[in-house]
Amino acid sequence: MKILVLLVVVFSCICSSIKATVSYDDKAIIINGRRRILMSGSIHYPRSTPQMWPDLIKKAKDGGLDVIQTYVFWNGHEPSPGKFNFEGRYDLVKFIKLVQAAGLYVHLRIGPYVCAEWNFGGFPVWLKYVPGMSFRTDNEPFKIAMQRFTEKIVNLMKSEKLFEPQGGPIIMSQIENEYGPIEWEIGAPGKAYSKWAAQMADGLKTGVPWIMCKQEDAPDPMIDTCNGFYCEKFTPNKPYKPKMFTELWTGWFTEFGGPIPTRPVEDIAYAVARFIQNNGSFVNYYMYHGGTNFGRTAGGLFITTSYDYDAPIDEYGLLNEPKWGHLRDLHTAIKLIEPALVSAYPTVTYPGKNQEIHVFKPKSGACAAFLSNYDPHFSATMKFGNAQYQLPPWSISILHNCKDEVFNTAKVKSPTTQKKMTPVGTFKWQSYNEEAPSSEGSDTLAMAGLYEQLNVTRDTSDYLWYLAEVTISPNEHFLKNGQFPVLTVMSAGHALHVFINNQLAGTVWGSLKNPKLTFSQSVKLRAGVNKISLLSVSVGLANVGTHYETYNVGVLGPITLKGLNEGTRDLTKQQWSYKVGLKGETLSLDTLDGSSSVEWLQGSLVAQKQPLTWYKATFNAPEGNDPLALDMNGMGKGQIWINGEGLGRYWPANKAHGNCDKCSYTGIYNENKCNRYCGDPSQRWYHVPRSWLRPTGNFLVVFEEWGGNPDWITLVKRTN
Ligand code: GAL
């Protein structure tokens, strides 16, 4: 049977080599008649700047990659219905053309659901409010919108001649993303939707294969593929589909409140080698360059602004060694044995406990072998042919010509780099304080009861004020005995600052696992009318979960005041006034023009440790080309802008909880295994792209929510 398949392939290869085509068989993706073992890496274009793209792509090429994989970010491209943006960091065509110019292929994951630790999983927030909308199921409004956007992207790619049969670099696309688990959960409508998605995508006639990742029943001709830390046991759902690893996680994302995950390169190389020796033919590193979640693009809740991911190229675009170099050496070895890999199936023998040998020996005479030692504790001496090979624990050796060890996954030759952050400047700040707004303001909206935050803000801001007045009678006992009543506020998340008569009474926040929060504290109320101002703050919208569009944000109550003469007063249903966003946002204080609309304090008057403070400073770009960052240690929580560009959310006051035990590369890896920096801020440094700076007079604005020390903020340069 296998011989027959091979013959059919050889035949079809001869025919297809006449024109540019991409197809596949059970062994591999076939490009212009040639089966390929493809090494790919994820670089998401909006997570860096166009000025960084050529260097990132070059480093990917020098690292031995054949393919760059990216998602397409719908909410970046269509911020409001029908208004498209393909400029700047969202210049998808430019990104793809740069990849093409470097001689690499593209795997375009259109989604349009992308997950990706990206706000709302890539969906525009307006999509939720289209009448009758239900995400990712057999729902007409959703399918219409999804098809419209998918077509838009496919047509754009076609018009720029970017698909491989047109002479372009795109060799594959993706529809949906990890739909399998959702389909399993919701049953029939999920099945119908996935069938529809496959047919819809196929009908767009891109001329290149589509994949559906983590979707066991992906309908033909979609190729189902595997995502994970390891995928050697995965088999596609039909014998004529190639075995592909579309997301090999090179590390993991960081959440505010969590430590920084890392993954040893020995284990990544081991996962690749195990996959390839088991007949795998496509491996994509997720991420190869993680980059930065600029502005408010981070999603999934509590995801940090840094999306470094411990990827082979770090957030700043510098090589993360020895990871980058060791994987480059692995790719060189795989290229050497590619002719054997694409023309034979492995034969497997088991020389000892925890040991395997996989041999690829096609008729052509080429020969490649993988010697594996799965033992997490002991090294092994393995005999093969006429030679003996030493294998460290948990490692695989690759033998060219079934003889020469050209690579071992645990023998790392690349040097380790020391990452350095060197201070290059401080700032002369001016400050402006805003107060909790008055509930009578023209831009506030009074309603009875509590409303869900996203519904009110439509995510135009992280911030929503809930404002109420509470009248306290002069007869209240607490006014005499000093036992102040307890205010309890329940919120669906994500963070909450409580102000009583304009004084910050306290701050509470949730976490990625549990975004809900409760504020419960005695509060100093006085006789007469008191102002309760709740600043509810979202920290990125959910990106994953069945019908995550129904997840709530904000203060939904109950809200109670306990310890009054009457007992407990329920404030939940009383009148609340709403104000979307901060005053400073309305005034565009992040821009030079906007900032002139208020009076700023200078010198010794600059606010310290005060909530709701805007800081501004100007600075010159430091000499040289080294990447730059802001050290935000000493600050609490807020956002940063430079020359009007959103650098992202900062939150160094949220310290890393968790387990940072010693890390060994051996044994099964998971994202909790090799954590670092427990007890430190989850994110201290914030990438400042060089291309956002002018030589002089750069305008830096920081909004601090709960109070910090701006004098500690330092501009640093990042070197290896
Ligand atoms: C995958 C998903 C990616 C990303 C990753 C975690 O399941 O497909 O988009 O979210 O998890 O970083």
CA distance 227 to 673: 19
Instruction: Provide the CA 397 distance to its chain's centre, in angstroms.
Output: 33
- Residue ranges with strand state E in 84-146: 105-111
Place of tokens 């801001």: 461
Query: Which pLDDT tens digit goes with each residue over 618-657?
Result: 999 999 999 999 999 999 999 999 999 999 999 999 999 9
Q: Residue 596 CB: number of other CB atoms within 10 A? A: 11
Indicate whether residue 511 lines ligand 1 (CB < 6 A). Answer: no
- Pocket flag, ligand 1, residue 113 (CB < 6 Å): no
Pocket test for ligand 1, best of 247, 252, 307, 544 (most atoms within 8 A of CB): 247
Spacing, Cα 7 to ligand 1 middle (Å): 38
Residue in 180, 223, 181, 225 with CA at minimum distance from that of residue 201: 223
* Residues 6+ away with beta carbon under 8 Å from 680: 655, 656
pLDDT of 240: 98
Distances (CA, A) of 689 to 54, 292, 629, 693: 14, 10, 8, 7
**Rounded Cα gap, residues 171 and 179, in angstroms:** 22
Mean pLDDT of 424-438: 96
Amino acid of residue 566: E
Which amino acid belongs to residue 664?
S
Q: Which residue has the CA at smallest separation from atom 4 of ligand 1?
A: 116
> Using CA positions, which residue lies closest to atom 9 of ligand 1?
116
Does the C-beta of 255 come closer than 6 Å to ligand 1? Answer: no
Q: Does the pLDDT of residue 16 top 90, yes or no?
A: no
Atom of ligand 1 nearest to the CA of 177: 8
Buried b (16+ CB within 10 A) or exposed e, 213-241: bbbebbbeebbbbbbbbbbbebebeeeeb
517-522 vs 503-509, strand pairing mode: unpaired
On the question of pLDDT at 15 being above 50, the answer is no
- How is 372-412 classified by DSSP, letter by letter? EE--SS--EEEEETTEEEEE-SSEEEEEETTTEEEEETT--
Q: Specify the residue with its C-alpha closest to ligand 1, atom 6.
A: 116
Distances in Å between the alpha carbon of 693 and those of 51, 128, 412, 644? 12, 36, 38, 11
Of 178, 182, 301, the residue with max ligand 1 atoms within 8 A of its CB, to mutate for a pocket test, comes to 178
Q: Please say if 247 is a catalytic residue.
A: yes
Tell me whether residue 434 is one of the annotated catalytic residues.
no
Ligand 1 pocket residue status of 310, Cβ below 6 Å: no
For 592, phi then psi, to 5°, come to: -60, -45
The percent of residues in the chain predicted with pLDDT above 90, rounded, is: 96
pLDDT at residue 476, as a whole number: 98
Residue 11 predicted with pLDDT over 60: no
Give how far Cα 330 sits from Cα of 276, 414, 622, Å.
11, 12, 38
Average of per-residue pLDDT across 460-468: 98
Angle formed at CA 579 by CA 575 and CA 585, multiple of 5 degrees: 170
Residue 94, pLDDT > 80, answer: yes
**If you average pLDDT over every residue of the chain, what do you get?**
96
Kindly report the number of other CB atoms within 10 A of residue 305's CB atom.
28
Q: How confident is the model at residue 232 (pLDDT cuts 50, 70, 90)?
A: very high
How crowded is the C-beta side of 245, counted as CA atoms within 13 Å? 33
Phi (first) and psi of residue 529, to 5 degrees: -85, 130
Place of tokens 């993954």: 263
In terms of residues, how long is the chain? 720
Location of structure tokens 């249903």: 573
Ligand 1 atom closest to 117 (CA): 10
Q: Is pLDDT at 13 greater than 80 in this prediction?
A: no
Does residue 273 contact residue 698 with C-beta atoms inside 8 Å? no
Which atom number of ligand 1 is nearest to the Cα of residue 544?
10
Q: Is the CB of 117 under 6 A from ligand 1?
A: yes
Closest CA to 288 of 40, 48, 42: 42
Interval between CA 630 and ligand 1 midpoint (Å): 28
Binding site membership of 247 for ligand 1 (Cβ less than 6 Å) = yes
For ligand 1, say whether the CB of 178 is within 6 Å of any of its atoms: yes
The answer, yes or no, to whether any atom of ligand 1 lies below 6 A from the CB of 92, is no
Cβ burial, residue 479 (10 Å; 0-12/13-18/19+) = middle
Provide the whole-model pTM.
0.96
Which residue's alpha carbon is nearest to atom 5 within ligand 1? 116
Q: Which residue's alpha carbon is nearest to atom 3 within ligand 1? A: 116
What is Dmax (Cα atoms) for the chain?
Answer: 98
- pLDDT at residue 441 in the model: 85
What is the mean predicted confidence (pLDDT) over 697-710? 97
* pLDDT (mean) for 507-527: 97
pLDDT band at 20 (very low <50, low <70, confident <90, very high): confident
Both tokens assigned to 595:
């900032």
Amino acid, single-letter form, for residue 385: G
Atom of ligand 1 nearest to the CA of 253: 12
In angstroms, the CA 96 to CA 108 distance is 9
Residue among 164, 176, 183, 247 flagged as catalytic: 247
Q: Is 115 in the pocket of ligand 1 (CB under 6 A)?
A: yes
What separation in Å is there between the alpha carbon of 115 and the centre of ligand 1? Answer: 6
Is the pLDDT confidence value at 466 over 60? yes
Query: Hey, what amino acid is at 18?
Result: I
Over 50: is that where the pLDDT of 3 sits?
Answer: no
Per DSSP, 418 falls in state P
- Does residue 12 carry a pLDDT above 60? no
The residues, any chain, with a CB within 8 Å of residue 513's CB and separated by 6 or more, are none
Q: What is the pLDDT of residue 529?
A: 98
Q: What is the pLDDT of residue 214?
A: 98
Which helix (H) or strand (E) segment holds residue 531: the answer is strand 528-537
How far does residue 252's CA lie from ligand 1's centre (Å)? 9
Ligand 1 neighbourhood includes 116 CB (under 6 angstroms): yes
- Per residue, what are the HEC states of 608-621? CCCCCEEEEEEECC
Report the C-alpha gap between 367 and 681 in whole angstroms.
51
62-72 burial string, b = 16+ CB within 10 Å, else e?
Answer: ebbbbbbbbbb
Phi, psi of 143 (to 5 degrees): -65, -40
Atom number in ligand 1 closest to CA 543: 10
From the list 151, 160, 178, 469, the catalytic residue is 178
Cβ neighbourhood burial of 474 (10 Å; 0-12, 13-18, 19+): exposed
> How far is the C-alpha of 146 from the C-alpha of 139, rounded, in Å?
10
**Distance from Cα 605 to the centre of ligand 1, integer Å:** 47
116 C-alpha to center of ligand 1: Å?
5
Can you tell me the distance from the alpha carbon of 194 to that of 29, in angstroms, rounded to the nearest whole number?
Answer: 23
- The SS3 of residue 466 is strand
pLDDT score at 1 = 43
- Cβ-count burial of 141 within 10 angstroms (0-12 exposed, 13-18 middle, 19+ buried)? middle
Cβ 395 under 6 angstroms from ligand 1: no
Q: How far is the CA of 591 from the centre of ligand 1 (A)?
A: 34
Distance 245 CA to ligand 1 centre (A): 13
Model confidence at 19, in pLDDT bands (50, 70, 90)? low
List the one residue out of 306, 248, 254 whose CA is nearest residue 676: 254
With contact defined as beta carbons under 8 Å apart, do 167 and 97 qualify?
Answer: no
* CA 178 to ligand 1 center in whole angstroms: 8
pLDDT band at 184 (very low <50, low <70, confident <90, very high): very high
Pocket perturbation via mutation, ligand 1, pick of 72, 73, 115, 548 by most ligand atoms within 8 A of CB: 115
* Burial class of residue 661, CB neighbours in 10 A (0-12, 13-18, 19+): exposed
**Coil, strand or helix at 718:** strand
Going from the Cα of 209 to the center of ligand 1, the distance in angstroms, rounded, reads: 21
pLDDT digits (tens, 9 = 90+) for 369-386: 999 999 999 999 999 999
- 404-438: b (≥16 Cβ within 10 Å) or e: ebbbbbbbbebeebeeeeeebbebebbbbebebbe
CA dihedral 225, 227, 230, 235 (to 10 degrees): -20
Residue 447 CA, ligand 1 centroid: distance in Å:
39
Testing ligand 1's pocket by substitution, the residue of 286, 287, 289 carrying the most ligand atoms inside 8 A of its CB is: 286
- pLDDT tens readout for residues 569-590: 999 999 999 999 999 999 999 9
pLDDT for the residue numbered 18: 45
Helix ranges restricted to H, 278-348 = 323-343
CA 396-397-400 angle, to 5 degrees, is 145
**Is the CB of 177 within 6 Å of ligand 1?**
yes
Mean pLDDT across 120-130: 98
Mean pLDDT of 226-245: 98
- Six-digit token string for 352: 């000892």
Are the CB atoms for 462 and 297 separated by under 8 Å? no
Ligand 1 atom at minimum distance from 252 CA = 12
Average pLDDT (305-323) is 98
